[in-house]
Amino acid sequence: MHLSPDQIVFWQYGVFKLNATIAFTWALMLVLAGGSRLITRKLSIGLERSRWQNLLEILVTGIEKQIKEVGLSQPQKYLGFLGTLFLFVATASLCTVIPGYEPPTASLSTTAALALCVFVAVPFFGIEEQGVRNYLKSYTKPTFIMLPFNIISELSRTLALAVRLFGNMMSGAMIIGILLTITPFIFPIVMTVLGLLTGMVQAYIFSILAAVYIAAATRVRKPKPEPMQTVPA
């Protein structure tokens, strides 16, 4: 019994190694990119389109809508990053129905890598939107005293992102493994269904949180009353 797919190492040369996490990530990348390529190769711009194109259009427009609802006025700019986050995490958890599959998101290394990406992307988009000065100034809001707390919150939320996803994915796999030894019939299937659900929820949470962080970083001061307007509704 191992806690992380990192521990399954297929090949190693010094620091470089090929473990199950990387291998399954590549597999997922292949599936996602290859599938997209296959479907989008013959896109129709007419009124009639294929079912697969319809599915992808629903997915993309759905993600776009979610990003917009979070408060990012130009969703297409962030669609590449946030959409890929959601699709990767969701696919990784959906594929748990395949026997012998180890979700890469059940490895803390993967979730940490994703959290680091968010950690880098937030200031990247923030600076791009409002400039270095304004972005750095936002750490001293509302007062200068808040600077250390803001920095701590930045770091801690990244850690929380990584650990939350890792914990949920790992626990799902672990629970199924333990239940298989206790009640091998029926119950593991129910837990697998539950695992699929929690996986989807985690994918949604991860990408929405990332969107919220980016939105917070890119928001210029003036539109502060905006959330006030949406909340009472």
Partner 1 sequence: MLIDWFTVGAQALNFLILVWLMRRFLYKPILHAIDEREKRIAAELSNADAKKAEAEKEHDEFQNKNAEFDQQRAALMSKATDEAQAERQRLLDEARKAADALSAKRQETLRNDAHNLNQAISRRAQKEVFAIARKALTDLATTSLEERLGEVFTRRLREMDGKAKEGLGAALKTAADPAVVRSTFDVPAEQRAAIQNALNETFSAEIRVRFETAPDLISGIELTTNGQKVAWSIADYLASLEKGVDELLKEKDKPEAKAEPKPESKPVVRAEAKPKQELEEPKPGAKSQ
Which residues of this chain interact with partner 1, rule CB under 8 A? 3-4, 6, 15-17, 19, 21-22, 25-26, 29, 32-33, 36-37, 40, 43-47, 49, 53, 56-57, 60-61, 76, 79-81, 83-84, 87-88, 104, 107-110, 112-114, 116-117, 166
CB of 225 to partner 1, least distance (A): 31
> Whose Cβ is closer to partner 1: residue 121's or residue 191's?
121
C-beta of 191 vs 213, nearer to partner 1:
213
CB of 47 to partner 1, least distance (A): 7
CB 112 within 8 A of CB 162: yes
- Quote the least distance from Cβ 173 to partner 1, whole Å: 14
Reading phi first (left if > 0) and then psi (alpha if -120 to 50, else beta), residue 71 is in left
CB of 16 to partner 1, least distance (A): 7
* Nearer residue to partner 1 within complex by CB, 32 or 212: 32
Rounded Cα distance, 200 and 197, in Å: 5
- Give me the DSSP letters along 40-105: HTT---SS---HHHHHHHHHHHHHHHHHHHHT-S-HHHHIIIIIHHHHHHHHHHHGGGSTT---GG
Residue 232 DSSP SS3: coil
